[in-house]
Every structure is written in structure tokens, then in C-alpha cells.
Structure 1
Amino acid sequence: MPLVIYLGLHAVAREPALILPSEQKQVTLATLKVNDTAASLDEPGSGQQKGSNRVLLLESLSEEATRTIKQWLQQAATQHVTLVWLQPVPYIAAKLAQGEETEGTLQEWQQMAHATLNLFRQHRRQVTLIGADVGGVPPQLDGVALLTLPSAKHAPLFTLAASQLLASNSAMQETAAHLCASSTCVYPQAESGIDQVINTLRDHQKNSQQINDFEQQLSAEKETHQKTQQQVAAQSKELTSVKEENDLVIAELHRVQELLESKLIEREELVKQRDDVRNHYEITIQQRDSALHQLDQRFAQLQQAHLDLKKSLGENKEYQKEQKALSSRINRLQTQLNVQKKEFQQALQEQSTWLTWVRRNAALYSAATYKHSRSHRKTLKQQAALVHASQYFDKQWYLEQYPDIANSTMDPVEHYLKFGVLEARNPSPNFDTKFYITQNPDIAESGYQPLLHYIQHGKMEHRQTKFEQLQLPSPQQAPEDFSGGASDENAQASQEAK
């Protein structure tokens, strides 16, 4: 009896045996062994009607299955096999619907197709090939009842994908053409399946267009989202930077506030010192006015006495001597008065120059404190280093001259730069702070530190650092031109002048 072998039905049906009719008997490769006879397929006790088809279901045509089928065909020339192979499109679509890999599925079908062609070419008289398709009506053959394969249960999109894969694979197309040419007949394709695939293709095109539109919208939204994220990241970074800057500014403000409070206290001390100097200046002016008034009164008294003497003594020689002595005394007193006036005016000018420097220095010190506190500290350190390196600051002499500084922990150079110069203290015996300021009005107007000015500029300009008293030769003893009374008067006038 003929044997019908179905290849690859397991791809379109999980249990192909369930679609077999009752009159067809399923056999296995074990019944086709070489030791079995052809009559074993038609044993009387098998319970099957005579003339019914024997069906063999194979997932693939392996080497072992091919060898068994060849041995069975070689037992007798009357043995015949109808080999039903599954066309590539339904096979590949079913495998893709099951989640199989595309490359592996294509290779499986090609191997199965090549094995089928080789078997047919070796046993053309005993093997009949028939191409099967799912959902199609089987062709009518004499003595063989073919199965009607169930329709595909997967989405038409997989059928469309399988068709695209077959169309893009020339080797598969050639193999399928050889199979179709070698086959006696092929299952006719169902019109409804073709229409469904066409409709699916149209729907797929529409969906593809919509998907493209959606992808473009999604791309635009992604770009917008990325820009938004970049802006948010930039703003976050900027906000973090601003917060850090704010924290630094707040910390700096606290530090500056503390520094300003300390500088305010120092400024109050400077203002107090300025007020003390101003009061001392006013007292000095009052003393000067009082001394000038007394000198004017004394000069008026002397002039009146001179007139009285001139009237009482007349024109005698004694009167002339006395007048000459009085004139000499008056001239001497006038000279002393002029010298005292000049010295007082010079002292007043020096005091005014000193006060000008105090005001300028206080303003400069306050401006540097309030505006550039950090740079002021740096400048103070540089100034202290410059003074340390010079020979015009004697630290030991400074501490011996001002014991109150020796009892403090402050560095002598820093004390001199901050307070000592305002108190007219001297850094060494070779530098007079007040003299240097009063003798240089340009320094007083600038408010510059006197010692620093001399180190940086004054030394090259050959400016004096202290008062240099010149020693004059001793005067010769004056001849005695007057009597004892005149000498007494001269001595009295000299004492009064003193």
C-alpha cells in the first residue's frame, strides 16, 4: 500500500495526529526498519481497513529518516511514497509566529527542501512530491487521500513577513521552484487568504504611514524633551552655582561685618585721638594769644618808660648812655620777641601740618578698611616686611622707649604702623616721625606713612629724618660800656626776656 509522508506539519499544528481521519493509520520510522517486511504495514490484526493510507508525520527529513525511507523503498520495487512538503511561506510564517529566529527558520526549510529533492532524484519512480499549503483544498489523486491542512491561526502580518523574506532570498526561491517543478501537484491557494494578505498589506502600509508620522512626532518631542532637559540641567547647574556663590557671599559678609565692627572701634579711637590733638591745639593757640598780649603790654610799658626817662633826664650824657642801653635792651627784647613769634608760628605751622596728616591718614586708613579690607591686610603685611628689612626701625630701642608696648603681645612694627605713627612715636633714634611729617607738607597732604615714604622715596630724595642742631662758635665777651647800674638793668632785662 502507498505510504504518505507529511514534512513540517508540526510548524502549523501542535499535534498533527489529531487532524488525521479515522481511516488513515499513523506509522513511525520504527515500522520502516530494514528487518520488517512490506506486509507488516498491512497486518490483519491491525484493525484497519484494507486499502487505507499509511501516514508518517516528520518534523524534518533528517539523515536517519532519509536512510530508513531509502531502505524501505529498496525492499521491493512496488513500494511507493507520496511525500507532501510544506511550502516556504506558511512554514516560515508559522515559525515566526512561534517566536523562532528568522535565520534558523530559513536554514531549516532549506535543509528540508534539499533533502526532499535528493530523495526524489534518487527514487523518481517510487517517490511522488506534492506541495502543501495551509487552508487550501488538497488535490485529488488516485489511490491517495490527502489531508486538508488547517488554516493559519497567526496574524496575517507573519505571512506578509514570510513573503518578504522569500522575495529577498534568491536561493530559497530557486529551491522552491525546483520543488514545484518536481512535484506532481500543489495545493491550490485559498482566495480568502490572498485577499486577507492583501488587505493586511494595505493595513500595514497605512499603519506604517501612521507609524512614520508618529515617529516623526516622537522625534520632535524627543528633541524638545532633550532641549528641555538640557535647559533644566543648565538652570540646575546655574542655580547650584548661584547658591554656592550666595553662601560664599554670606560668609564673606559676616567676616566683613566683624572686621568693620573692629575697624569702627579703631576709628572711634582715632577720632578720640584727633579730638585730643585738636583740644591741645586750641589750648596752644590760647597760650600763644595770651603770651602775645603780655608781650605787647610789656613792650608798651617799656616804651612808656623810655619816654619817661627821656623827659626826666634830658639831653645829658648820662641820659644818652641810659637811652642807648634802653634802646639796646628794647632791640634785644624785640629780637627775642620776633624769634619767639617765628618759633611759635613755626610750631603752629608744624602742628597744622601734623593735624593735616592725621586727618588724611585717618581718611585713607578708613577707606582702605571699609572698601578693601582683604587687600589692606595684605598691604599691611607687605609694609611690615619692608620696615623689618630696613635699618630705620630698631625693635629693641622701640620697646625700651615705650614700655607699654613691651607688655603687649603685638608686634612692634605692626604697632608702629597702626598706632605708633599716630601717637608721634619714633621707630629708632635716627628717624623722627613728627619732624619728617611737619617738614614735608606733601606727605602730610597725602596721608602716607612717613617711615614707608622715606624707605621708598625719601631716601633717594635726600630728605632729612630728624632735626640736626648745628653747633655755633661761642660768642666773644662784650666790652663793658655801661656802669654797674646799667649792667644790673641789662641783667634784669635779660632775666625778663627769659
Structure 2
Amino acid sequence: MNLNHNKAPSDGGPVPSIGRPEHLGIASPFGGDARAPMDTLARAGLSSASLPLHTIESENAEAVAGWLENNPQRHCVIFWQSPVTALAQAMAEGQAPDEALAEWTARAESVLAAVRKNRRRTTLIESTLAQANPGALIERLNQRLDLSLAMPTHSPGTHEEHDPVELLIAERAVVTNTQARRLAQELQATSLPLGQGDEDLLPDSLTAWHGYQQHGNTERAEAERLRAQNRELRQEQQKLKTQIDELKGKADLSQSGEYQDLKEENDLLLQQLHHVQEELESYYLGSRDIQQKYDKAEAERKKLKRECNSALQRADVLQKKIDSMRASRSWRLTKPLRVGNFLKRKRAK
């Protein structure tokens, strides 16, 4: 089963056209990596194709169904994210795979419910494939919607790199979930065929092993350094103990002050050894706590970045609405009325 190996269903010739829509909506209810293909469409001239364009900003899948229901004459292009990519990205941000898969399944169910009711009014596009194959994206969208978007002239697309181990865990989680597999298959079967990417998203076992080794190099190096220090301290302790035993074997110092001094020195050294061991343990635990705090802070930073990007997008949409209203004919025709009302209020003061 092809869950997300950066592949799409095999090309079967041109995509049948459903005609040019009068109004087009673009949605990305799964979030994820849809920004790059959406930017590709913008550079290809979608925003200036003499076609009214509306971006559905919400990542709530139900918002897509609501938009389709409230706009029965309009067409919606829906970018969706494969479950493997979604889980790998969620795990990188600190979310548990079972929780992320449950969220993806709920979104997929909602999107597919809307698509089944509006098959000729929706176009599904897998965002990772679209990012990896910008030329195929433009070509297939032109064929389906009878558009004339310009083919990209920049270098071939790529896809976001994910941790190999997280990808394998994500694939395993999806493969063992019957509902997720069924939804992924239906989404793929309904999407525009964009061909194959330059390379598979999922790593082979050797690549995953190297990724795992690299991921744990720092922790293993730190643990080895602490073990080496501990061995050196133990060797020093053993050396001191041997020296004491030799001295005790040469003469009976039990009644002399020299023996007492050696015993006190040995006790002091043992205390210092225990103190150093405690400091090493405290340092190790502290470094692990710092790493956890860093991971938490990094996840919070990513969350704030997403919220900031979402706020900027909403502000852009509102500004476009204001500009559109001020450029409308009704706004110009009612200008004398607004000026008159302003003068009346000014005289009244």
C-alpha cells in the first residue's frame, strides 16, 4: 500500500476537464507543508488569472464543508497531508503518534465527507507530492480546471526532510491502523495524479539506522565520558587502597599516629570521591533536564510561529476585503452621502 512514499497513482494520460469554475477556493485543512505548493500556484499566476480567488484560512476541516455548502457554484482545491508525513511532523514537535493519528483521521473523515458530496466541485492535491512536483501540479490543475497557469521555471521541487526513525515509526503506526489506511487510500485515489517524486520519502533500513545513531551520538558520548571519569576515580581509589594495604603489611601501625593519619587521609579521599560522583550524577541529570526544557521551548516557539503566521494571513485577508470595498462602485457613489453626514456631525458639535 502506498501511504506516502512521495508517490502518486500512475499517470493515465491527461486529467479530464470539468470546466473552468467561476470562483475558486483554496484550503489546507490538514496544515502541514501546503504553503510551498500554494506559493507555486501564486507564482504561476493563479492570483491574477481573472478568476475570483478565496483562501479558506481555517485548518478546521469542517470549514471546508461549510464553505462548499454556502457557495454552491464555486470550486475548492483542497491540499491534504499524508498520515505518515503528519505523524512524523507531529512527533518532531513533541506530540505522541497515537494522538496525532487520531487528529489526522478525524480531519480526513471530515474532508472526505465533503468531497463525496461535491466530487465535481472539489480537487484534492497531496501537498508533499505537489511540493516535490511543481510542474506536474500546474499541468494537472490546468487540465482539470481549464486554466492557463504558467509552468514553473525554477529548479525542481523538494520535500521537507524528516527524522528517519520518526518516519518509520509513523509508517508503522499508519500501517497497523485500518481506518487510517482506508482513508489514505481513498484520498490518494481521489487526488490529482502528480507522478513520482525524485526520491522516496521513507528511508531504507540503513539510512534509518544511521539517523538513529546520529540522533543518539550526543547522549552516548556524554554517558561514555561520565563512565570514563567514574572508571578513573575507581582506579585511583583502588590504587590508594592498595598502597594502604602495602603499608599495613610492612608494619603494624595500628598503635601509631602515622596509621591514624593515613586512615584519615583515606577517609578524606573517599569523601571527596563520593562528592565528585554526586556532582557527576547531578551534572548528568541537570544536562538531561536542560535538554527537556530546550525541547519544550522549541515546541512552544514552533507553536507561536504557526499562530503568528495564521494571524498575518488573517490580517492580509481582512486588508484585501477593505481594499476591495473601497475600490467598489457603491463606495464611490456613496461618497457624497458620507461627506454630508460628516459635515452634519461636525456642525452639530
Give the TM-score, by structure 1 length.
0.34
Larger Rg: 1
